[in-house]
Structure 1
Amino acid sequence: MSLKGSGATSLREIDRWDGGFGWLAYPDEGMERASHAFVSDGDVWLVDPVDAEGLDDLLAEAGEVAGIVVLLDRHNRDANDIAARHGVSVHRPAWMDSIDSNYDVPVRDLGDEVDDTGYRVRKLRDSPVWREAYLHHPEDGTLVVPEALGTASYFLTAGERVGVHPMLRLLPPRELAGYDVERVVMGHGEGVMTDAAAAIRDTVRNSRRRAPGLYVEAMREFLR
């Protein structure tokens, strides 16, 4: 299994809910890069997307692409190519403008909300090595977290349904445990589509205690 897929894609739909869906472009890769789209009044907004054969057909079933949202400074992925193909802009938090040079298409600031979709934009980390935002839709109970949380195998230990990123285990994103959400979708791995609030609280509260076990598991995997 390669860490990061390349070449021919094999799109697999994941995380379907009323108002959104996700997909894996390379289902067998180790990083399990997940992309998402949410729909509001016929407008489709993509979040940190990886392109795939058949993606445009999937998007057309939902509506018309309105824009691409980038929530992590290193999640440029295929945002530029997809935006160019659909004639839309890339949108990122104003404080993440260091990524603008990665794009040939127009780049716009996100305000406090993604257009009028109901998805609130929140800052999670803003440091020279890690700039991450997330989205929260309070009405439909959805949280969109690109990197701090995930369900890819290297995020998880001790029976967790969702895990904290290995690099954040000692400084977990405690604010995410304060949301009473039904589902959380993430940039790595399939989403947790039911009772997500309890899963997030569990992993955040126990992040430090479980860190040694996660690191031992990762080392064993590396040495295989």
Structure 2
Amino acid sequence: MPAKVTDPATGYEEIDRWNGGVGWIAHPEETMERASHALATDEGVWLVDPVDADGIDDLLGEFGEVAGVVVLSNHHTRDAAVFANRHGVPVTLPASMTDVAGSLDAPVAYLDVGGTVGDYELLEVADSGPAWREYALYDGETLVVSESVGGADYLRVGDERLGVMLLRRLTPPREAFADLSPERVLSGHGPGVHEDAAPALAEALTYSRRRFPSALLANGRSQLRTVAAAIRT
């Protein structure tokens, strides 16, 4: 199984469908399980950390016209510029991610923490300078997390439904999500959780440090492969 697939996707696997949108994985065969989401709002459809795939515009068309593209991590530019140019919209970046704009061949707009895209508020998850900037979106029901928390196999250990990525298990983003009680949690890696999502998120954050040794043993090699693949590409 490749850590990351860089060839164009000839299809996709649909995930995370609910009344307010849909998710997809363009390369389900890769370890990273890079997941993308389309959020249906009153403004139109907002695409989050998207990866392109043949036929994906037919899927998006079920929810309306694309209103914008938003990138939630400085490591998740993915195909944001491709979608932005195709639909004639800018790529919206958190205001701190000015260093990412140069890598995007598309118009760029900036959004402050607390600002909104559609019904979703931008939350800060981590800002450690150029090495790691990560944000999330939340509308009171749906939480969209970019990197630190997810449902991909290499993020979870034991019977976890959501896991914290190995590089963040010792410093999990508890403060960022402390006051939230989402009905569903979507992630940039792997399928989301749509039932009892708030308890699943709380468990992942509460026990991430305690489960670090188990996660290191189970997922250490996979995590290293994904990091290496991300750096190479």
Same fold, TM-score > 0.5, yes or no: yes
Cα-to-partner distance string for 1:112-142 (whole Å, 9 max, x where unaligned): 2334x2201011111121100101111xx11
Give ranges in structure 1 of 5+ residues lacking alignment.
Answer: none
Query: In the alignment, which residue of structure 1 is the partner of 2:133?
Result: 131
Q: Mapping of 1:175-186 within 5 angstroms?
A: 175=175, 176-186=177-187
Determine the C-alpha separation between the residues in 2 that align with 1:101 and 1:24.
26
Deviation at residue 104 of structure 1 after TM alignment: 2.0
Indicate the residue corresponding to 2:96 in structure 1: 95
Q: 1:30 matched to which residue of 2?
A: 31
Q: Distance in 1 between matches of 2:43 and 2:221?
A: 47
Distance 1:45 1:220 in 2: 34
Looking at structure 1, the residues matched to 220 and 123 of structure 2 have their Cα atoms a distance apart, in angstroms, of 33
Cα distance change on mapping 1:163 and 1:113 into 2, 3 Å: same
Larger relative contact order (C-alpha < 8 A, sep ≥ 6)? Answer: 2
1:73-222 equivalent positions in 2, closer than 5 A: 73-111=74-112, 112-115=114-117, 117-128=118-129, 129-138=131-140, 141-175=141-175, 176-219=177-220
- Figure out how many residues of one structure are paired with residues of the other and give that number: 220
State the distance in 2 between where 1:90 and 1:221 align.
30
CA RMSD of aligned residues (A): 1.6
CA shift, 1:8, in A, is 4.5
Instruction: Tell me the TM-score normalised to structure 2 length.
Output: 0.90
Change (3 A) 1:144 1:2: same
**In structure 1, what residue type is equivalent to 2:202?**
R
Q: In the TM superposition, what is the alpha-carbon distance from 1:105 to its structure 2 partner?
A: 1.3
Amino acid corresponding to residue 158 of structure 1 in structure 2: G
Secondary structure (helix, strand or coil) at the match of 1:56 reads helix
1:6 shift after superposition: 3.0
Between 85-94 and 3-12, report the one with greater CA deviation: 3-12
* Identity among equivalent pairs (%): 48
SS in 1 for 2:214: helix
| Consecutive aligned runs of 4 or more in structure 1 exceeding 6 Å deviation | none
Could you tell me which amino acid in structure 2 is paired with residue 85 of structure 1?
R
